[in-house]
Amino acid sequence: MPPRRKPPRKSYHHGDLRNALLKAAREVLEERGPSFLGLREIARRAGVSAPSAYHHFESRDALALGLAEQGAAEMAGCLAVTPGEGVYALLPYGEAYVAFVQTNPALYRLMFGEGFPAVSHYSQAIRDLRQRSFEIMRANLEQRLPETHVPIAALFLWAICHGLGLLLIDGQVDTSPAPKDLVHQVLKLAGTGLNVPAV
């Protein structure tokens, strides 16, 4: 096969190029993983020159931060659900959280710094973004539990959603019979505890 010709340069309105670059970055991320997330490749996909891309994202870490910001905003949107009833009040939040992880596996991993140790360990911005979804769940718990119980309950909920989401996207769980119901059943136990049979 002959080498692909360079695509013609595209022109973008101010602001649109940033979004086009993020869109291209997200495609690369989900298709090929974080190690392929280079600015040259992203620029090529968006049909612009590398310097144009550098104008918006000065480094690979800046691009990762942009993606994480987008992910955090989308995730917060997904968590805008109606609470359930009684002991299952938080179930819709858990399901929305895990569904986001399953729909955006590489983006979710990136939001936790995988493939980007500098972002993971040093960037306060990324850390703050990660807390956003946690805060939504915590705010809901504050309406339901005594104040002193909220921090532990919120961490419990976050841990179960984070752990279940990661086990699922890692392929650790055989989801062939009924994946959606499986998540539902597991998350119900967060409401009832282990000793109440999951019906």
> Residues in the site for a copy of itself, rule: CB under 8 A?
33, 86-87, 90, 112-114, 117, 120-121, 127, 130, 141, 145-146, 149, 152-153, 155-164, 166-167, 170-173, 182, 185-186, 189-198
Buried b (16+ CB within 10 A) or exposed e, 9-26: eeeeeeeebbebbbebbb
CB nearer a copy of itself, residue 52 or residue 175: 175
CB of 75 to a copy of itself, least distance (A): 15
Measured from the CB atom, is 8 or 117 closer to a copy of itself?
A: 117
DSSP secondary-structure letter at 53?
H
CB nearer to a copy of itself: pick between 27 and 181: 181
Work out how close the CB of 1 gets to a copy of itself at its nearest, in angstroms, rounded to a whole number.
Answer: 26
| Shortest distance, position 140 Cβ to a copy of itself, whole Å | 11
Q: Cα-Cα-Cα-Cα dihedral of 100, 131, 85, 88, to 10°? A: 70
Query: Considering beta carbons, is residue 70 or 133 the nearer one to a copy of itself?
Result: 133
Q: Got the DSSP string for 113-146?
A: TTT-HHHHHH-HHHHHHHHHHHHHHHHHHHTTS-
Write out the H or E segment, with its range, that includes residue 174.
Answer: none
- Nearest approach, Cβ of residue 161 and a copy of itself (Å): 7
Can you list the alpha helix ranges (DSSP code H) found in the chain? 16-32, 39-46, 50-56, 60-78, 91-103, 105-111, 117-122, 124-142, 150-169, 179-192
CB 182 within 8 A of CB 173: yes
Whichever of 50 and 167 has its CB closer to a copy of itself, that residue is 167
CB proximity list for 75: less than 8 A, separation 6 or greater: 97, 100, 111, 132, 133
* CB of 103 or CB of 131, closer to a copy of itself: 131
What is the nearest approach in angstroms of a copy of itself to the Cβ of residue 107? 16
Shortest Å, Cβ 185 to a copy of itself: 5
